[in-house]
């Protein structure tokens, strides 16, 4: 059921408002078949709303949503029969057992496979007891078995490990990682846990206050940010740094002064710009940043950064925080 261009999910300028609160300000993304795409953002950034729109649970106020190359129409469940969904919170009829809830859910999916469902229950070690006796981790595993039993082309996970203990979370991530490596399914998931994103995803979208701050690969993200340290820079050196940042179109996401050492978290739409800085600022020491460091800097900066055709011009500047000794 894939589109001719192999696109599984496409959002074009999707917007959503709840009352006077703008939740999404124009989200754009394109998810290719077989790709693993992670929404990374703190709570309230708009991740769950975006995924609920993809699932048809929530209707957008504006924009276009396409699944498998076709625009989503209200009330049309045909496309969603090819999606496996695991929500952030699991809501089951707790008097049911895995077997009885499987029979119930199977009626909604023409491609349901009883044998695959039974295999997943065994693989995930889901016991044949009433669901009310299950722990949170076991309920998530049951949800995953239900999501996979009809052999979906697309998996949508909305922070399914939230609230799980570290062992249950690790087990779930390992299972999802195995699913992601075979390339048979497309995975779109949200998380605020950096290690999950690093271990599973091919591309990430960083959301903050309903805006996409960055979209691209983890490798590309790491190449576009760096930490520069300068010891006791004087006014002339600061002016030179400012001019160089402007010339190379490098943005300052964050800065910190401690004991005479100026730390600048820098971003460039062109990684070559950062390489040029290293050559032209011999007094500076450059250090690689972790994904968590970059994520925090992007979110706090408020700069709507993007890659490729969406890259913004921006006006690089040093922030006024008393840098001059």
Q: What pLDDT is attached to residue 126?
A: 94
> Hey, what are 24's tokens?
């999404």
Q: What pLDDT is attached to residue 323?
A: 45
pLDDT tens-digit map of 240-258? 888 888 888 888 998 888 8
Higher pLDDT, 301 or 113: 113
DSSP string, 130-157: -GGG--HHHHHHHHHHHHHTT--SEEEE
Distance CA 265, CA 230 (A): 12
pLDDT tens-digit map of 78-114? 888 899 999 888 889 999 999 999 999 999 999 999 9
Cβ distance 159 to 47 under 8 Å? Answer: yes
Distance CA 18, CA 245 (A): 40
**Which residues, 6 or more positions from 113, have their beta carbon under 8 angstroms from its beta carbon?**
149, 150, 151
- At residue 154 the predicted structure's pLDDT band, cuts being 50, 70 and 90, is very high
118-147 average pLDDT score: 92
Q: What is the pLDDT of the chain when averaged over all its residues?
A: 84
Which burial class, exposed, middle or buried, applies to 236 when counting CB atoms under 10 A from its CB (0-12, 13-18, 19+)? exposed
Give the DSSP letter of residue 192. Answer: S
298-316 average pLDDT score: 52
pLDDT of 310 strictly over 60: no
- At residue 319 the predicted structure's pLDDT band, cuts being 50, 70 and 90, is very low
- Is 0.75 surpassed by the pTM of this model? yes
Higher pLDDT, 324 or 192: 192
| Nearest Cα residue to 303 out of 211, 224, 223 | 211
Cβ distance 256 to 263 under 8 Å? Answer: yes
Higher pLDDT, 166 or 308: 166
| Distance of alpha carbon 239 from the chain centroid | 37
The domain ranges of the chain are: 7-219, 224-310
| CATH code for the domain defined by 7-219 | 3.40.50.300
Q: What pLDDT is attached to residue 266?
A: 92
pLDDT tens-digit map of 12-36? 999 999 998 899 999 998 898 888 9
Distance CA 77, CA 66 (A): 13
| CATH code for the domain defined by 224-310 | 3.30.70.260
């Amino acid at each position: 059921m894939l589109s001719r261009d192999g696109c599984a999910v496409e959002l074009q300028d999707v917007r959503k408002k709840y009352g006077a609160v703008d939740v999404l300000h124009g989200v754009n993304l394109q998810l290719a078949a077989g790709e693993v795409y992670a929404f990374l953002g703190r709570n309230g950034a708009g991740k769950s709303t975006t995924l609920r729109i993809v699932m048809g649970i929530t209707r957008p106020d504006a924009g276009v949503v396409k699944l498998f190359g076709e625009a989503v129409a209200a009330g049309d469940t045909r496309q969603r029969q090819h999606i496996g969904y695991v929500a952030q919170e699991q809501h089951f009829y707790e008097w049911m057992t895995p077997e009885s809830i499987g029979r119930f859910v199977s009626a909604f999916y023409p491609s349901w496979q009883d044998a695959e469902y039974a295999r997943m229950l065994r693989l995930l070690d889901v016991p044949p007891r009433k669901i009310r006796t299950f722990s949170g981790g076991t309920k998530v595993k049951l949800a995953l078995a239900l999501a996979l039993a009809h052999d979906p082309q697309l998996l949508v996970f909305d922070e399914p490990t939230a609230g799980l203990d570290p062992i249950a979370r690790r087990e779930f991530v390992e299972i999802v990682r195995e699913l992601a490596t075979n390339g048979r399914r497309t995975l779109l998931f949200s998380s605020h846990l950096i290690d999950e994103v690093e271990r599973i995803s091919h591309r990430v979208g960083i959301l903050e206050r309903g805006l996409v701050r960055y979209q691209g690969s983890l490798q590309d993200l790491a190449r576009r940010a760096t930490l520069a340290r300068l010891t006791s820079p004087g006014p002339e050196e600061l002016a030179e740094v400012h001019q160089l940042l402007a010339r190379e179109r490098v943005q300052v996401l964050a800065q910190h002064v401690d004991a005479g050492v100026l730390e600048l978290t820098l971003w460039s739409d062109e990684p070559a710009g950062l390489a040029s800085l290293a050559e032209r600022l011999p007094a500076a020491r450059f250090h690689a940043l972790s994904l968590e460091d970059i994520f925090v800097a992007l979110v706090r900066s408020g700069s709507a950064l993007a890659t490729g055709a969406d890259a913004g011009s921006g006006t690089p500047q040093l922030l006024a925080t008393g840098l001059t000794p």
